[in-house]
Amino acid sequence: MSLPVPEASSARADHTGQIRVKTFPGESLTLPRWQTPHGPGNTIRRLNMVHFHIPDMTCGSCARAVIKAVQSVDPEACIETDPPARTVRVESVADVSALLAVLGEAGYPAERRPEATAG
């Protein structure tokens, strides 16, 4: 199980054996020890949020091919496609260069877009 944790996070066990994960100033989340990102078997995943413009993605079938390509690099990636706008939003641990390469190999060359203009 992989959980995204901000870089500035800290974890501390309390008297009940639960872990309190401090995520942002003033906010925290209490989890049983077995569910914490710092517990045995868990890894911390650094997620990249990337927006792409894919001119050749025109329909749902194209979108499914794009999703399959991205998942071949990161099976746990969160992917949102918008075929009419020809945009894709990907939240993944994979490098942007790896995502661009796999999309090109799948026949859907992409260009990275800033988040503000991705819609």
Dig out the tokens for 97 from the structure.
């260069």
DSSP string of 37-87?
Answer: TTSTT-EEE--EEEEEE-TT--SHHHHHHHHHHHHHH-TT-EEEEETTTTE
Give the separation between CA 112 and CA 95, rounded to whole angstroms.
Answer: 12
Give the separation between CA 47 and CA 72, rounded to whole angstroms.
Answer: 16
Residue 3 has a CB neighbour count (10 Å cut-off) of: 16
**pTM for this structure?**
0.60
Q: Which pLDDT score, from 0 to 100, does residue 48 have?
A: 84
Residue 25 has a CB neighbour count (10 Å cut-off) of: 7
Burial class (CB in 10 A: 0-12, 13-18, 19+), 33: middle
Per residue of the chain (119 residues), give pLDDT as tens.
Answer: 444 444 444 444 444 544 444 445 555 555 555 555 555 555 555 788 999 999 999 999 999 999 999 999 999 899 999 999 999 999 998 999 999 999 999 999 999 998 754 44
Q: Which pLDDT score, from 0 to 100, does residue 119 have?
A: 47
Q: What are the percentages of helix, strand and coil residues in the chain, rounded to 5?
A: 25, 35, 40
Q: Which pLDDT score, from 0 to 100, does residue 80 have?
A: 94
Q: Which pLDDT score, from 0 to 100, does residue 26 have?
A: 53
Q: Which pLDDT score, from 0 to 100, does residue 31 have?
A: 53
Q: Which pLDDT score, from 0 to 100, does residue 114 have?
A: 83
Q: Which pLDDT score, from 0 to 100, does residue 88 have?
A: 95
